Amino acid sequence: MKQLILCVGFLLSALLSPAQAAEKPTAADAAQAKKAPAMWVQVVTNMGNFTIELNPERAPITVAQFLKYVDQGFYAGTVFHRAIPNFIIQGGGYDSDYKLKGNPSKVVNESGNGLTNTRAAVGLARPPEPHDGDVQFYVNIADNAALDPNQTRWGYAVFGKVVQGMEVVDAISSVPTGAKGPFKENAPLKPVIIEKIERVSNPSP
């Protein structure tokens, strides 16, 4: 199934708030994330690199899932398939032919963890179902409070922030876009390729 749009229209209502209804991260998940030798990853693209600082204390399940696929090399050869100035860039799930890569596992929605969708915040993308996020992630270009949860709807879980290279993220958000593959709009016409994502011991100077 196509994993589609990070937009206000796809923010779901729920009978309970995320804080009431979401499953709590388990102690094992939290321990696994906190054992990671590095809490930063570098995203290497054909337009330059940027560094993400992860937050395993606030988003232990999401960080553990993300690092699992980083360590597997899953992200190599995927693309940023959505680029919207003053909103977000999104990628990590489609290859350069704009076809979904693999069949990654789903992760519990950790929105409501106190981290918000401000500029440079990194979150887990998902389709309308709140717990169907997997490997796709996005970077906020602007403050996007509409992506945060409230008492009547699920939000999009933030699990880190860009601490270096935000100028690269801004440049990606401004590339020419249009219809490509399964997307009718906002897809970079020239692929923005994620060459790899790798752990780093600290942000490069």
Phi, psi at residue 112, to the nearest 5°? Answer: 90, 15
Q: So what's the pLDDT on residue 203?
A: 78
Q: Is 8 part of a structural domain of the chain?
A: no
Element (H, E) at 164: strand 158-164
* Short-list 54, 70, 103, CA closest to 203: 54
| Lookup: tokens for 7 | 């937009």
- Which CATH number does the domain housing residue 98 bear? 2.40.100.10
- Condensed to tens digits (0 to 9), the pLDDT of residues 15-65 reads 234 443 344 445 565 565 555 445 999 999 999 999 999 999 999 999 999
Domain coverage including residue 104 = 26-200
Q: Is 51 part of a structural domain of the chain?
A: yes
Domain count, the chain: 1
- pLDDT-based confidence at 204, cuts 50/70/90? low
Q: Is 11 part of a structural domain of the chain?
A: no
Q: Give the length of the chain.
A: 205
Q: Is 4 part of a structural domain of the chain?
A: no
Q: Is 196 part of a structural domain of the chain?
A: yes
Q: Is 122 part of a structural domain of the chain?
A: yes
Q: Is 17 part of a structural domain of the chain?
A: no
Flag whether the pTM goes above 0.75. Answer: yes
Q: Which residue has the tokens 């206000």?
A: 8
Q: So what's the pLDDT on residue 33?
A: 54
Q: Is 178 part of a structural domain of the chain?
A: yes
Q: So what's the pLDDT on residue 27?
A: 59
Calpha distance 101→56 (Å, rounded): 25
Category of 172 on φ-ψ map: left (φ > 0), alpha (ψ -120 to 50) or beta: alpha
- Condensed to tens digits (0 to 9), the pLDDT of residues 133-164 reads 999 999 999 999 999 999 999 999 999 999 99
- pLDDT-based confidence at 202, cuts 50/70/90? confident
- Condensed to tens digits (0 to 9), the pLDDT of residues 69-98 reads 999 999 999 999 999 999 999 999 999 999
Phi, psi at residue 170, to the nearest 5°? Answer: -60, -40
